[in-house]
Chains A and B, each alone.
Chain A
């Protein structure tokens, strides 16, 4: 019986020690001191809104074939992160490339009733292709396909990074490089 309070004290101490292990490791910890001057860290790679514009261009060389999609006699081949090759496959012996749809950040697509649905990085975009020579972006859902916070955070935890700045464009990736007086961790 006499040992009981001691056991309780020991338990409490163990608990406190265990929890204290968690303190100081959160990214928003005010105790973090942001270093002055040049260091190694992550820097956002920006694209401008105009870079994300979906538009038809001349046929291009196939570099790294991605996913495929068919619609009637047309065949779509994704060139990951660059765009979509459009092919006329009405003659199986002589399929031909008829255009290239620039879609920066694309990895997959689907078509329904003259509307092309594509991803651009974490955005989901609906593009009216009823006149393929004059494609029009109908709507864009920002970051709706984002995974783990999307591209607003660097790919790896535990590094200082340059805070993303929306006025510089849209973050489409990160590079590990020399950065100056980072304010994010």
Chain B
């Protein structure tokens, strides 16, 4: 009888493990990409960058992907960031600001021009932050440098540069209420952003042996992708990073 009970319990445990698999409706709602994403879902729309085109699809219920519009921009488009009712598109020569009040038809508003480079962008409270990477990018002109541009976008028709500071081989970036996190120097640079117009570099933290490429902020912690894999990193009130679990195999 005892033996039977043990078998029964074992079976129960095994089945409950199986239930631990990805259950249905785990993926309801909308997810979040990193700052290097070229796909963006919001509301009933999917926005995808392809070359110099921004393609807008309606993805409401039903099986179809209905293409609504194509917007051509004079750049090679790389990254897309949602800010209020605007899309910020990072490209090889500018950050383009687009209006999506009419969600099916993005409209060009203005651009922040810069040297030929690679440049994701994030924004918060009327300030946009864009990393400009020349190193190992397409231009590599010696007179240009890797930098962080802080751009005032309170008047979106007229973006103005507040300041720039030098970086070393930056990739993706992410922002929270008090901090700006930038993948650079192979690790993550933490900037104190309590004055949003003047992010102050605090320190750089390395994760594993790889080069940090992009960051997602989720529930107050960071998910970082490096050339080795992914790292969970928690942030305390002083902006200090602590590495948690990782998957690099």
- In the complex, whether B133 has a CB less than 8 A from a CB of chain A is no
- In the complex, whether B4 has a CB less than 8 A from a CB of chain A is no
Asked if B48 and A74 sit within 8 Å, CB to CB, the answer is no
Contacting residue for A141 out of B37, B65, B249, CB 8 A: B65
By a CB distance below 8 angstroms, the chain B residues around A133 are 21-22
Count, chain B residues at interface, CB 8 A: 52
Q: How far is the CB of B53 from chain A (nearest CB, A)?
A: 8
Q: 8 Å CB contacts to B: which residues of A72-120? A: 72, 74-77, 85-89, 91-99, 107-117, 119
Q: How far is the CB of B225 from chain A (nearest CB, A)?
A: 5
Asked if A62 and B249 sit within 8 Å, CB to CB, the answer is yes
Q: For A126, give the chain B residue with the smallest CB separation.
A: B65
Count, chain A residues at interface, CB 8 A: 56
Q: How far is the CB of A107 from chain B (nearest CB, A)?
A: 8
Interface string of B210-249 (1 = CB under 8 A from A): 0001101010010101111110101000000000111111
- In the complex, whether A129 has a CB less than 8 A from a CB of chain B is yes
Chain A binder among B24-32, B101-109, B184-192? B24-32
By a CB distance below 8 angstroms, the chain A residues around B244 are 92-93
Asked if A87 and B230 sit within 8 Å, CB to CB, the answer is yes
Q: How far is the CB of B81 from chain A (nearest CB, A)?
A: 13
Asked if B32 and A70 sit within 8 Å, CB to CB, the answer is yes
- Given A70-B223, A141-B65, are A148 and B34 neighbors across the interface (CB < 8 Å)? no
Alpha-carbon distance A97/B247, docked complex (angstroms): 8
Contacting residue for B50 out of A85, A115, A145, CB 8 A: A145
Contacting residue for A131 out of B24, B57, B223, B246, CB 8 A: B24
Q: For A56, give the chain B residue with the smallest CB separation.
A: B22
Q: How far is the CB of B74 from chain A (nearest CB, A)?
A: 15
Asked if A110 and B31 sit within 8 Å, CB to CB, the answer is yes
Q: 8 Å CB contacts to A: which residues of B48-69? A: 48, 50-53, 55, 57, 59, 63-65, 67
- In the complex, whether B140 has a CB less than 8 A from a CB of chain A is no
Asked if A110 and B40 sit within 8 Å, CB to CB, the answer is yes
By a CB distance below 8 angstroms, the chain A residues around B52 are 147
Alpha-carbon distance A109/B38, docked complex (angstroms): 8
- In the complex, whether A52 has a CB less than 8 A from a CB of chain B is no
By a CB distance below 8 angstroms, the chain B residues around A113 are 27-30
- Given A69-B32, A70-B31, A112-B46, are A117 and B59 neighbors across the interface (CB < 8 Å)? yes
Contacting residue for A139 out of B64, B218, B232, CB 8 A: B64
**Chain B residues close to A by CB (< 8 Å):** 21-22, 24-34, 36-41, 46, 48, 50-53, 55, 57, 59, 63-65, 67, 213-214, 216, 218, 221, 223, 225-230, 232, 234, 244-249
| 9 residue pairs bridging A and B, Cβ less than 8 Å apart | A93-B232, A95-B246, A108-B37, A108-B48, A111-B31, A111-B41, A130-B24, A130-B25, A132-B26
